[in-house]
Amino acid sequence: MSTSNNITATFDTLSSSFDEMVVDLDFTVSALQKKQLIEFVLLIDKWNKAYNLTSVRNPHDMLIKHIFDSIVISPHLQGNHFADIGTGAGLPGIPLAIMNPDKSFLLIDSLGKRIRFIKQSLYELKINNVTAIQTRVEDLKLEKPVDGVLSRAFASLKDMLHWCQYLTDENGTFLALKGQVNQLELDEIPTGFKVVDCINLGVPNFQGERHLIKVKKTR
């Protein structure tokens, strides 16, 4: 079977799995968004062989652990401008940008190979509401605060808030995607911050717990 036939077959398989899982979401995904999300999986799979972007090797597992695990945050985004810190392969930033073409996303990572992959993905998927920057978060300078700071696998809550505190103001929200809620981690939140919500996320076909912890600065 040729490479193009392999890609088509993988796309079709992922499309069927997507259709089965999407019915468990409480929001809709358009045909274009579905196409872009699946094509993003295929890009991760293609580049992963050389760039080692993720330890997840199977495209079907990527669909669950990277795509659906990211887009379930979508209903909880308040505002228009978001920063995804330590984005890695563009997660959750790119899936969220696909789901929210009216919002803008700044993707930050310190590794050049990841930013190269992200920029190529943006070009191939025709995504124009994402900016990718190679830098360390502590060196990032923003002209104005963002509405939300996203973190998926970046750091502990304490470290996230320490390094990212200047990226938003008291109106903004820190959004940390976590597995099980760790009370010790919550107890270590620095003075000047408060947990405003802890949302149990229902990720279709995901084995284990996923939570979104929302933190704000105290006035």
- pLDDT tens, position by position, 3-52: 778 889 999 999 999 999 999 999 999 999 999 999 999 999 999 989 99
With a cut of 80, say whether residue 75 has pLDDT above it.
yes
With a cut of 90, say whether residue 148 has pLDDT above it.
yes
Angstrom distance (rounded) from CA 129 to CA 184: 36
Angstrom distance (rounded) from CA 151 to CA 156: 10
In 10 A of CB 149, how many CB atoms?
A: 27
Amino acid at 131: T
Do 136 and 86 form a contact (C-beta atoms < 8 A)?
A: no
Angstrom distance (rounded) from CA 76 to CA 122: 23
Which domains are seen in the chain, by residue range?
Answer: 3-217 (3.40.50.150)
Give me the pLDDT at residue 2, please.
65
With a cut of 90, say whether residue 125 has pLDDT above it.
yes
Do 90 and 158 form a contact (C-beta atoms < 8 A)?
A: no
If pLDDT is split at 50, 70 and 90, which confidence band does 205 have? very high
Task: Give the 3-state secondary structure of residue 21.
Answer: helix
Give me the pLDDT at residue 1, please.
54
Chain-centroid distance of CA 189 in Å reads 22
Task: Give the 3-state secondary structure of residue 148.
Answer: strand
Give me the pLDDT at residue 155, please.
83
Give the model confidence (pLDDT) of 83-99 as tens digits: 999 999 999 999 999 99
**How do strand 193-200 and strand 130-134 relate by DSSP bridges?**
unpaired
Contacts of 32 (CB under 8 A, 6+ apart): none
Length of the chain: 219
If pLDDT is split at 50, 70 and 90, which confidence band does 154 have? confident
With a cut of 60, say whether residue 167 has pLDDT above it.
yes
